[in-house]
Amino acid sequence: MAGFEQAFGDVEKASDSALKSAAGLTRLVKLMKKAASDGNIARLKRTRGELDAALGELRQAVANAGSSWPFEEDDEEQYIKDHYATEFRATAEGMGLDIHERDGKLISSPSIVRILPGERAVRIDGKKVQAMRPSHLARLLLENQGKRSRYSSDRFLESLHAAYFEIMRDESSRRLMPGDGPVVPLARIYRLFTVRPGAGREYDRTDFARDLYVLDSGGPRRTKKGAAVSFPSSTGTRQSGSGLFTFVAPDGQEIRYYGIKFTEGG
């Protein structure tokens, strides 16, 4: 069976053919109206005969368009589950867009794509998108790369600092004083971010890693109050497991984050 790109292309061609047939029928109806307006009996009769043929052509074109989608309902979901990611990546790469797959998600930095087979849709950075033609989706991601991000690194940095400060206050039972703070595992920060029931599904570890990467690669380095952020390398980044947060840079390099530190008043 054809993939989605070809299937959508076939439907598009069949629909275009039906539109042309409809336009031809419309043209003949206008000619008949003009013949009646002018009182041209010969043209009226000639056009009437042409209308019958054009109507038959339109019926066939509409029938062809209606049957041009080759997937049954169960086949659609199964194809999306088993083959869509592979086809989408191949189509995107042919258009110059690199797609990397991690933990069942497709990453085109800075966008994260989640495939939703049962809904015949994808989710891009939390927004549900039902336009699933691979070439169309690739164009959307290419456009996203060229747009100024609506993501606020400044606000994210302030949230990280607030969570970091909360952890330090709980551990020291006093306000964090100016100077170097200790390295705090980002897993502890993420737990504070997702303490609300269900929050981990709405904002998962890959989302958090993406936001860390965007901040680290081009965001502000200091909070409004002047605390400097850093993501120190440690033995933690050479390990695997729940303590690590990973994202994929545009060049395909895997970026790992383990801990965070704020230097107050520096």
Sketch the domain layout of the chain as residue ranges.
Answer: 4-66, 73-146, 153-264
Q: Does residue 200 have a pLDDT over 90?
A: no
The 10s digit of each residue's pLDDT in 165-175 is 889 887 664 44
pLDDT for residue 176: 44
Q: What is the mean pLDDT of the chain?
A: 89
The 10s digit of each residue's pLDDT in 59-104 is 999 999 999 999 999 999 999 999 999 999 999 999 999 999 988 8
Choice between 18 and 151, residue whose per-residue pLDDT is larger: 18
Own/partner pairs for 12-18, CB < 8 Å, 24+ apart? 13/68, 14/61, 14/64, 14/65, 14/68, 15/65, 15/68, 17/61, 17/64, 17/65, 18/58, 18/61, 18/62, 18/64, 18/65
Q: Does residue 5 have a pLDDT over 70?
A: yes
Could you give the C-alpha distances from 43 to 21, 22, 150, 240, in angstroms and in order?
21, 21, 61, 81
Q: Does residue 1 have a pLDDT over 90?
A: no
pLDDT for residue 258: 94
- Measured from the Cβ of residue 177, the count of other Cβ atoms closer than 10 Å reads 10
